[in-house]
Structure 1
Amino acid sequence: MTRKKALVVRGGWEGHQPVAATELFLPFLRDHAYDVLIEESTDVYADADAMAETDLVVQCVTMSEIKPEQLSGLSAAVVAGTGFTGWHGGIADSFRASSDYLHLVGGQFATHPGKEPCERAGDESDNFLPYTINVTDLGREHPITAGIEDFELHTEQYWVLHDDLVDVLATTTHPARPWQPWHRPVTSPAVWTRQWGAGRVVVTTPGHSLDVLENPNVRTVIERGMLWATRTASAS
């Protein structure tokens, strides 16, 4: 089996447990013939030689900042065929000040609606709601989500701003609740892919905590997404 090179980049806001979260997926990568390099900052993105040898980037960096030369290096690698994937805030809420990063990924976390104010306890559980992940028609045929039925979660439900260049494999709908300012249900992409040059981008929005990442459906989507995003022979 031909070995691949995976680069795991982690850091940013500690609330998403970037070390523990990425450690969950290291055995999967190694079992699937990836040599794994772990970096605790985005400095590696500016290393053109390292990025050219990378077949897959798994990023878990919530918020934080990225330098222009780092983003340029990441974007160039993806355009040349390096796969790029991640989950939740580690990819969809990274580098809020960078419009070029948003352009690369195709969707950006806007909010996670909360419980009715009278039910809030003043901690992260205020934003934990029951909701459904709905697999789209495209998703039912796509290698990442084929065979996965609609499923329920009780965690943060991401409201995502996105463009038309994303291929949506699953969605989630935010109802119009009496205490919210919107007046009709809003559907957001929950899992999407994006072709960027010769590279493939995969974003999975569930993943706030380790228990969500260990949900069999969420974990399957993330792991299949890693395999699918990895540089293809035609991009080599």
Structure 2
Amino acid sequence: MTRKALVFFGGWDGHEPGPSSEIVSGMLEAEGFEVTRREGTAILAEADLSGFDLIVPVMTMAEVEAEEVKRLTAAVEAGTGLAGFHGGMADTFRKNTDYQFMVGGQFVAHPGNVIDYRVEIAANGDTLLEGIGDFDYHSEQYYMHVDPRIEVLAETTFSGEHAAWVKDTRMPVVWKHRYGLGRVFYSALGHKSAEFEHPQMKEILRRGLLWAARGTA
């Protein structure tokens, strides 16, 4: 049976939501998903969200109706998977704490803006990132407020060069957790659509999308 995914996009143009959502949709189609791609949040109120096995937000700093978030969180709690990346998922609805509770974290800063930093795979025995080693990355290094329940899959350490008070702070970059019956996956990588050309970034997201989708073993 073909699995179904919803990719909804919009918000701040600086994150290139249109091109990035097209790339993600193509990745899912290559994995055999039937993908519905829609701009804006209206689809959250119009569609039967329980009919999707995976929902991917690609939307930054957007406004949302209370009923739309209620239907989204209910679908995930009932078993629909949620997965996404960078500000497209962790800064989607900045004013909505119900949404943030579901995601497991919220963007708050990126000291220095686009910089070079190191991503370190967590040595916790999780197989989701098996075979992917630590790597260098050039992008925004996200500082986030995170739920202590998340299962951290990769981290980064802040140097303090751009904000001295956060020197040596270790921050989650990739995580997963459960929200009710739903699986939730997040990667902080992917500021611009060109970053999908980075092999580790794209492979981490690909694996996360598949893991989060309902029906994955």
TM-score, structure 2 length as denominator?
A: 0.95
Report the CA distance between 1:20 and its aligned residue: 0.4
* 2:22 matched residue in structure 1: 23
Task: Please tell me whether the aligned partners of residues 158 and 166 of structure 2 are also in contact (alpha carbons under 8 angstroms).
Answer: no
Are the aligned partners of 1:171 and 1:189 in contact in 2 as well (CA < 8 Å)?
A: yes
Q: Of residues 135, 159, 162 in structure 1, which corresponds to 2:146?
A: 162
3-state DSSP of counterpart to 1:131? strand
Partner of 1:50: 48
- Tell me how far 1:170 sits from its aligned partner: 0.2
Q: Which amino acid aligns with 1:100?
A: D
Question: Runs ≥4 in structure 1, deviation > 6 angstroms?
Answer: none
Equivalent residues in 2 for 1:126-137 (5 A)? 127-137=113-123
How many Å separate the matches in 1 of 2:166 and 2:24? 39
1:215 correspondence with 2:203: no
- Other-structure match for 2:131: 147
The alignment yields a C-alpha RMSD, in angstroms, of 1.5
Q: Secondary structure at the residue paired with 1:189?
A: strand
Letter in 2 for 1:42: T
- The amino acid that maps onto 2:116 is P
The residue that corresponds to 2:65 in the other structure is 67
Aligned length: 217
TM-score where L is the length of structure 1: 0.88
Secondary structure of residue in 2 paired with 1:95: coil
Match of 1:176 in 2: 160
**1:141 positional shift:** 2.8
CA distance in 2, matches of 1:223, 1:130: 23
Q: In the alignment, which residue of structure 2 is the partner of 1:78? A: 76
Change (3 A) 1:157 1:84: same
SS of the equivalent of 1:45 reads: helix
- Aligned AA for 1:130? D
Higher-Rg member (1/2): 1
Q: Does the Cα contact within 8 Å between 1:161 and 1:188 map onto a contact in 2?
A: no
Find the aligned partners of 2:75 and 2:176 in 1 and give their Cα distance.
Answer: 17
2: CA distance, partners of 1:71 / 1:62: 15
C-alpha contact 1:86 1:204 (8 A) present in aligned 2: yes
Q: Does 1:189 align with 2:172?
A: yes
SS in 1 for 2:206: helix
Give the distance between the partners of 2:166 and 2:6, measured in 1 at CA: 43
* Deviation digits for residues 110-154 of structure 1 (CA, Å, limit 9, x no counterpart): 10001xxxxxxxxxxxx111100100013x5322x1110000011
**Structure 1, unaligned stretches of length 5 or more?**
115-126
